[in-house]
Amino acid sequence: MMMNNIFKRESCVIARLFLCSFSMACATAHADINFSMQAEAEAQNTPEGWAAVELPKNLPAITAANTFNITDYGAATTSTDNTAAIQAALDAAHQAGGGMVIVPAGEWLFGRITIGSHTVLHLCAGATLKLLAYANQPDHTTKTPYITDKKGATDIVIEGESAETSIIEGQGGPWWDAVEAKESGLQRGSLIRFYQGERHLFRHFRLQNAPGTNLTLGQSGKGGHNTVHDVSIYAPASTASDPSHNTDGIPVWAPYANIYDCLIDTGDDNVVTDSYAQYIHVWHCQFKAGHGASLGSYTVDMHHIIYEDLSFDGTTAGFRLKSNTDRSGDVHAIIFRNCTMHNVATPIQITAWYDKVPDSPTAAAAAPESVTSTTPRYHDILIQNVSVSGYDTKNSNDKNYNGIMIYGRPESYVHDVTFDNVQISHRNGVRLFFCKDIKFINGCSFTKTRTNQSVSATDADLSAVMENAYEAAYTWNGSTSSLTPAMGTPQPAATRYYNLQGHSHSTKPHTRGIYIHNGKKIIVK
């Protein structure tokens, strides 16, 4: 499935040569450009059985006649607002049936702009599109993205010459301060968001200090077939002394996306798939600060997602699936593989309780909710060839920081999750609640560094590293374990009694003690 390294290096060389052809355009404004999509097609890396992500098509040949430099429309580095000039250049490209808009080297202040079909927005080396300062924004209550597509626009490219030299700057600091101050009516648009059109490409630039999310793909299942590569994203971590807030790197809300060779260091999810994300392939990326490779919290109609060949260094989470009963559904065919994690607080977390897990699984079991179309149903998840090490930090609430956490619901168990050759070393151990058919195979191992306890393929089960478990069944390297109470669909709350250790009784117990029954505390004397 994965291309070999030699092929990948050759593709990168082609891409660099291709980008060099833009140097004349940046220098002379109207030079002919050899625009090609060949390198993109060669690097697609489509998983077996999936349809390929469609790349932009029917782009015009780039000539002097359809190359538009923003300076020809009045943009100047001395201007306090170049929005009108940049928009005029984009509109000229749209009216010409497509073309290239060039942002030369320099710093260009701008507000909200829209891009039409068959347009290439090219940032030269040394070019910075800089969002108007918070104080100079017309209002703070409009969530419209700053760079977006005209309604229904298709086949758009936004590109730079490298992720180090072509920059879109969001000046987000005052926006994050406004979040902390709970400013009334505050809305923060994404730096880039394309809503409905298809076949969009984003490459070779840097997004930094976004007011909110950075590069959002699609909306409610519309706007599919997106490709993102060689994009760097930066905002201060959520744990920093001056943090950013909700600065997701790449949220995906539509089907068919390739995301690769990106470096994301931000204050929220690095890459996150949300409702209607299907056939999403993310590979060969570096994640630093952020909340990891995420799914959710909105997980309606989400399936066929692969995260692979990723490195995590200092993220708060690694692989994280999260949702709740008002925003989910059938989530399946999820793969997370060939990844390394270092100093990650929560390497593997699958929870159907967003944003706070129950204080007591016994209380949750005593009051299951009715199953609806939006009940989380997680199944058929593969976590393969993953190595985790380096996290040994004591937190005020250690139960939320575990090597593995799976927390289903009493009315909807997480099931059929396979850990294949997963090696974890973490301060804290394993927590399993409301789950079944959890399989650990092919030499999985786990070391709980807080207590210097380990389990390996030769051990019978996870008991040495188990922090807590409730209604969970798993197979550990060939040995089956079932953690009471009994598995299966919970009995109605009116007929179950739970003691404080989590064991259940189908009828009122005769042994003295405190029990939970129908969501209430019962004392048996």
Predicted local confidence at residue 517, as pLDDT? 64
Indicate if the pLDDT at residue 525 is higher than 90: no
Predicted local confidence at residue 280, as pLDDT? 98
pLDDT in tens, 496-519: 555 554 445 556 666 677 766 665
Environment class of 22 (CB within 10 Å of its CB; exposed 0-12, middle 13-18, buried 19+): buried
Query: Model confidence at 293, in pLDDT bands (50, 70, 90)?
Result: very high
User: DSSP secondary-structure letter at 262?
Assistant: -
Predicted local confidence at residue 327, as pLDDT? 97
pLDDT in tens, 400-454: 899 999 999 999 999 999 999 999 999 999 999 999 999 999 999 999 999 999 9
Predicted local confidence at residue 28, as pLDDT? 46
Query: Model confidence at 520, in pLDDT bands (50, 70, 90)?
Result: low
User: DSSP secondary-structure letter at 492?
Assistant: P
* Terminal CA-CA length for the chain: 63
Predicted local confidence at residue 6, as pLDDT? 34
Average pLDDT of span 455-484: 91
Top pLDDT among 92 and 27 is at 92
Predicted local confidence at residue 23, as pLDDT? 42
Indicate if the pLDDT at residue 491 is higher than 50: no
User: DSSP secondary-structure letter at 60?
Assistant: P
User: DSSP secondary-structure letter at 219?
Assistant: B
Q: In this structure, which amino acid lies at residue 158?
A: I
Top pLDDT among 100 and 25 is at 100
pLDDT in tens, 331-365: 999 999 999 999 999 999 999 999 889 989 999 99
- Residue 134: Cβ within 10 Å count: 17
Q: In this structure, which amino acid lies at residue 238?
A: S
DSSP-based three-state secondary structure for 289: coil
Indicate if the pLDDT at residue 25 is higher than 80: no
Instruction: State the DSSP H helix or E strand holding residue 168, giving kind and residue range, or none if neither.
Output: strand 167-169
Cα separation, 502 vs 470, in Å, equals: 7
- Residue 308: Cβ within 10 Å count: 23
Indicate if the pLDDT at residue 486 is higher than 60: no
pTM as predicted: 0.88
Predicted local confidence at residue 499, as pLDDT? 57
Predicted local confidence at residue 507, as pLDDT? 60
Average pLDDT of span 178-188: 97
Predicted local confidence at residue 15, as pLDDT? 40
When mean pLDDT is compared across 9-18, 106-115, 319-328, 372-381, the lowest value belongs to 9-18
Say which residues have a Cβ less than 8 Å from residue 343's Cβ, sequence separation at least 6: 313, 314, 390, 391
Indicate if the pLDDT at residue 26 is higher than 90: no
Query: Model confidence at 487, in pLDDT bands (50, 70, 90)?
Result: very low
Predicted local confidence at residue 34, as pLDDT? 59
Indicate if the pLDDT at residue 19 is higher than 90: no
Cα separation, 259 vs 281, in Å, equals: 6
Predicted local confidence at residue 395, as pLDDT? 86
Predicted local confidence at residue 524, as pLDDT? 77
Query: Model confidence at 16, in pLDDT bands (50, 70, 90)?
Result: very low
- In the predicted model, what is the mean pLDDT of the chain? 90
Predicted local confidence at residue 496, as pLDDT? 55
Average pLDDT of span 238-246: 95
Which of 373, 256, 253 shows the shortest CA–CA distance to 304? 256
In the structure encoding, which two tokens stand for residue 249, read together?
């790197």
Indicate if the pLDDT at residue 198 is higher than 70: yes
Q: Where are the domains of the chain?
A: 112-483, 493-524
Predicted local confidence at residue 510, as pLDDT? 63
Architecture of domain 112-483: 3 Solenoid (2.160)
Q: In this structure, which amino acid lies at residue 9?
A: R
Indicate if the pLDDT at residue 69 is higher than 90: yes
- Please say whether the beta carbons of 173 and 242 come within 8 A: yes
Which of 466, 371, 463 shows the shortest CA–CA distance to 409? 371
Indicate if the pLDDT at residue 12 is higher than 70: no
- Residue 360: Cβ within 10 Å count: 14
Predicted local confidence at residue 13, as pLDDT? 35
In the structure encoding, which two tokens stand for residue 446, read together?
């786990």
Say which residues have a Cβ less than 8 Å from residue 95's Cβ, sequence separation at least 6: none
Average pLDDT of span 227-246: 97
